[in-house]
């Protein structure tokens, strides 16, 4: 396993310790606000409006995952619908992300399908695009079934995510191709066993570019979700060399990560979206951000020392 993946595995393991969680929740609030828009919908909308003024569009995401009861899942659906109704009143592009386990996937696939269907029924006529997030490997198959079922019901404003660090992803790509998916491509942020995921960052990066170029060749719209300057440079080089217009793909980055690069790409005419999370359930999200970038660990330590 590469040094990068060893670091990520260690961070995610330590972050699962209840004492570590309590310490970070109690003392790292300043760091949280670097990556999370706030706990309320109003704070998230204010951040999105600020990004729009800089030429960067927002992907709004109500934080929460792996709910334990149907009541929790239905409560999350209600809050996501509140987000949909609020976005419908805004003049800028409307785009949200939802996690299947937030809507009860671990309880019942049927429940998750019902709640997602309810969101899409309200979102599509209001011009709100919905991205179905991908979570860890045990949930990939069920998530893809949800996507296919909803597309077969006629919902068109629904996107899917593929993760380049999983061995299975190229097969999933070909299986999804008949649906002509709006595809978000990510490397993957969860702790995965070596039996299902590539063990080396170089292999993950190579697979990321392979899948992205394959999707572009097949005529799909691709959202390249990455902060890696080398990958971004190669995507730019490839699309220019192949004559692929800028309206066939976009770049996506996290709120608070490389904001100047986001604005620079937008000024050059690329579509850029920032993933803007909000809500009270921010700890799992923050720990994955720490695991992705070693420099974030130093920010955490500084926050803890400074209170």
Which residue segments constitute the domains of the chain, with CATH numbers given? 1-36+283-307 (no CATH), 53-281 (3.20.20.220)
Q: pLDDT at position 80, please?
A: 98
CA distance 67 to 82: 19
pTM (2 decimals)? 0.86
Q: Is the pLDDT of residue 139 over 90?
A: yes
Q: Is 184 a catalytic residue?
A: yes
Share of the chain above pLDDT 70, in %: 83
Cα distances from 215 to residues 127, 180, 236, 253, in angstroms, run 25, 10, 15, 19
Q: How far is CA 63 from the centre of its chain?
A: 11
> Taking the CB of residue 167, how many other CB atoms lie within 10 A of it?
13
Q: Is 139 a catalytic residue?
A: no
pLDDT band at residue 125 using 50, 70 and 90 as cut-offs = very high
Q: Provide the residue count of the chain.
A: 307
Largest CA distance in the chain: 53
Classify residue 262 as left (phi > 0), alpha (psi -120 to 50) or beta. alpha
CB 58 within 8 A of CB 274: yes
pLDDT band at residue 35 using 50, 70 and 90 as cut-offs = confident
* Secondary structure (3-state) at 196: coil
Average of per-residue pLDDT across 50-79:
96
* Secondary structure (3-state) at 58: strand
Q: pLDDT at position 126, please?
A: 97
- Give the pairing of strands 249-254 and 272-278: parallel
CA distance 157 to 100: 16
Q: Is the pLDDT of residue 286 over 80?
A: no
Average of per-residue pLDDT across 133-137:
95
- Active-site residue among 184, 191, 273, 288? 184
Lowest mean pLDDT among 7-16, 35-44, 78-87, 295-304: 295-304
- Active-site residue among 61, 106, 133, 136? 133
Give the Cα-Cα-Cα angle 217, 237, 134 (nearest 5 degrees).
55
CA distance 280 to 199: 33
Average of per-residue pLDDT across 172-184:
98
Closest among 1, 32, 2 to 255, alpha carbons compared: 32
Q: pLDDT at position 13, please?
A: 65
């Amino acid at each position: 396993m590469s040094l990068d993946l060893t670091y990520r595995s260690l961070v995610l393991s330590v972050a699962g310790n209840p004492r570590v969680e309590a310490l970070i929740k109690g003392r790292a609030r300043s760091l949280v606000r670097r990556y999370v828009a706030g706990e309320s919908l109003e704070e998230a909308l204010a951040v999105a409006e600020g990004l729009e003024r800089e030429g960067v569009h927002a992907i709004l995401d109500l934080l929460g995952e792996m709910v334990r009861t149907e009541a929790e899942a239905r409560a999350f659906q209600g809050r996501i619908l509140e987000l949909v109704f609020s976005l419908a009143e805004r003049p800028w592009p409307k785009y949200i992300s939802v996690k299947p386990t937030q809507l009860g996937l671990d309880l019942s696939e049927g429940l998750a399908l019902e709640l997602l269907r309810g969101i899409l029924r309200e979102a599509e006529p209001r011009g709100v695009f919905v991205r179905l997030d991908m979570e860890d490997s045990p949930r990939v198959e069920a998530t893809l079934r949800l996507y296919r079922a909803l597309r077969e019901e006629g919902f068109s404003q629904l996107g899917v995510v593929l993760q380049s660090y999983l061995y299975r992803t190229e097969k999933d790509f070909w299986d999804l191709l008949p649906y002509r998916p709006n595809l978000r491509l990510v490397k993957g942020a969860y702790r995965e066993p070596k039996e299902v995921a590539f063990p080396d960052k170089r292999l993950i990066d190579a697979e990321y570019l392979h899948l992205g170029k394959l999707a572009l060749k097949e005529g799909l719209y691709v959202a390249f979700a990455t902060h890696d300057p080398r990958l971004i440079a190669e995507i730019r080089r490839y699309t220019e060399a192949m004559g692929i217009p800028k309206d066939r793909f976009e770049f996506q980055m996290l709120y608070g990560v490389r904001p100047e690069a986001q604005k620079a790409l937008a000024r050059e005419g690329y579509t850029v979206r920032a993933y803007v999370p909000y809500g009270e359930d921010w700890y799992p999200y923050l720990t994955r951000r720490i695991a992705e970038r070693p420099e974030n660990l130093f920010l955490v330590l500084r926050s803890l020392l400074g209170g």
